[in-house]
Every structure is written in structure tokens, then in C-alpha cells.
């Protein structure tokens, strides 16, 4: 009888222990996670802690990625419409700059890194994700090829404005896009975006040869 009692007691203790292990400690809140992240980093040069602050769009996409679920179609449409409405088009109505400067911007991955001087001019680092010039043998493939971009699409007003908006904030077309928000996030200046536009659309650019 005593043996059976001890066995039953041991089983009860084991079950209780397992229940404790399953429930575990309380998961930290989003605010606590952000606080922990900020406490583990320090600002260096142009790399500031505000980069850890998420917009509503970034937060929604992070949750979708974490849960493995697609964004609700209505939420996606709302976020994309808001991003597209915030695009700032050239005040002077001129969209194309110098494609040669645009090529240099596409090649450059400098700027906004902790190792950069605060006054370092940022580049677009376009080749990290796209094929741009056929002559470039080293390029990424996360994004689609941009070879013959203007030659294939033309330079209608609709295409020009679409291209500008896509560079300014690609989230206006794909809420959870990987492409940086070059204009919206202040990575490139308006003048730099004009030069990249020329690289893509100017008939004299090597992209369209």
C-alpha cells in the first residue's frame, strides 16, 4: 500500500512538473523586446537606434512573417495605398538626371553604416539585388533583372511616374517588399534618384543598349 502511494505521489509530482515546463515563463511583450534590443545596441556614426522603430507597415509585415500568414487583403491594400500616397514627385517636373552618375550610385554600397563618416554620401547598392548593366558580371538576383528596362517599357508618363514611385517607396506596390525605401527613408536624395532614373530610362544609358 505504501509503495502504491509513493508511486502515485511520484506520478503526480512528475505531471505537475511537466505542466510547469509546458506553460513556461510568460513571453515578453513587444515593448519589452524593443527595449532589450535597444539596450544591446549603441549608436555609432550615422547608425542610430531609431532604426529599430517600426512603422505600422513594417510591424504588420513582421507579424505576418512570424506567424507564417499572409497579410489580410484589406490591410495590405490600406498600407500600400498609404505608402503610394506619400510618394514625393520632383517639384520641377524633371525625372531624369545623369545616367553616368546613376551608374556610380548603383555601384556604391556606402553610406548610413556604422563604419561610415556621418557625411558619407549614400549609394543605392542596386547590384546587390538586380542585374542592371549586362557588362556587370557580379550582381544579385533577389530582385528582377533591370537590363533593357527603358528599352522594353518605353518612357511614357505612366512608366516614368511608376518607376519613380517604385524607387521612392516600393511598399506602395508590395507592402512587404524587400526593396529599400530609397526616397521615403531618406537613403537617396531627389537628385540621386533622378540619376538612377536616367540609368534605367535614358536611351543612351548602357542599360538600354
Contact 157, 190 (CB under 8 A): no
What's the pLDDT tens digit per position in 26-36?
Answer: 888 877 877 88
Distance CA 142, CA 8 (A): 59
Q: What is the mean pLDDT of the chain?
A: 87
Let me know: does 79 contact 65? Beta carbons within 8 Å: no
Which is more confidently placed, 8 or 165? 165
Write down the pLDDT at residue 13.
40
The residue ranges of every structural domain in the chain are 45-209
Q: How confident is the model at residue 36, as a pLDDT?
A: 82
> Which has the minimum average pLDDT: 2-6, 48-52, 62-66, 130-134?
2-6
Q: What pLDDT score does 49 carry? A: 79
Q: Is the pLDDT of residue 171 over 90?
A: yes
Which residues are paired to 114 by β-bridges? Answer: none
Closest CA to 207 of 193, 198, 166: 198
**In the Cβ-directed half-sphere of 33, how many Cα atoms lie within 13 Å?**
8
Sequence-distant (≥ 6) Cβ neighbours of residue 23 within 8 angstroms? none
Cell representation of residue 93: 517636373
* pLDDT tens per residue across span 14-52: 344 444 444 567 888 877 877 887 788 777 878 787 877
How far apart are alpha carbons 203 and 148 in whole angstroms? 9
Domain 45-209 indexed as CATH 1.10.760.10: yes
Q: Using 50, 70 and 90 to split pLDDT, how confident is the model at 98?
A: very high
Nearest to 201 by CA among 157, 169, 170, 140: 157
Amino acid at each position: 500500500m505504501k509503495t502504491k502511494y509513493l508511486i502515485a505521489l511520484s506520478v503526480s509530482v512528475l505531471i505537475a512538473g511537466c505542466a510547469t515546463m509546458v506553460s513556461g515563463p510568460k513571453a515578453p511583450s513587444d515593448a519589452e523586446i524593443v527595449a532589450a534590443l535597444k539596450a544591446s545596441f549603441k549608436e555609432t556614426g550615422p547608425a542610430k537606434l531609431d532604426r529599430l522603430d517600426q512603422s505600422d507597415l513594417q510591424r504588420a509585415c513582421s507579424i505576418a512573417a512570424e506567424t507564417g500568414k499572409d497579410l489580410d487583403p484589406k490591410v495590405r491594400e490600406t498600407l500600400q495605398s498609404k505608402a503610394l500616397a506619400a510618394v514625393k514627385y520632383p517639384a520641377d517636373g524633371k525625372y531624369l538626371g545623369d545616367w553616368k552618375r546613376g551608374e556610380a550610385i548603383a555601384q556604391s554600397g556606402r553610406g548610413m553604416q556604422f563604419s561610415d563618416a556621418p557625411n558619407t554620401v549614400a549609394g543605392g547598392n542596386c547590384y546587390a539585388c538586380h542585374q542592371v548593366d549586362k557588362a556587370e558580371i557580379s550582381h544579385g538576383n533577389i530582385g528582377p533583372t533591370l537590363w533593357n528596362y527603358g528599352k522594353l517599357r518605353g518612357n511614357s508618363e505612366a512608366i516614368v511616374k511608376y518607376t519613380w514611385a517604385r524607387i521612392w517607396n516600393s511598399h506602395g506596390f508590395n507592402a512587404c517588399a524587400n526593396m529599400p525605401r530609397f526616397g521615403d527613408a531618406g537613403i537617396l536624395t531627389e537628385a540621386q534618384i533622378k540619376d538612377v532614373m536616367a540609368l534605367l530610362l535614358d536611351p543612351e544609358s548602357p542599360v538600354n543598349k
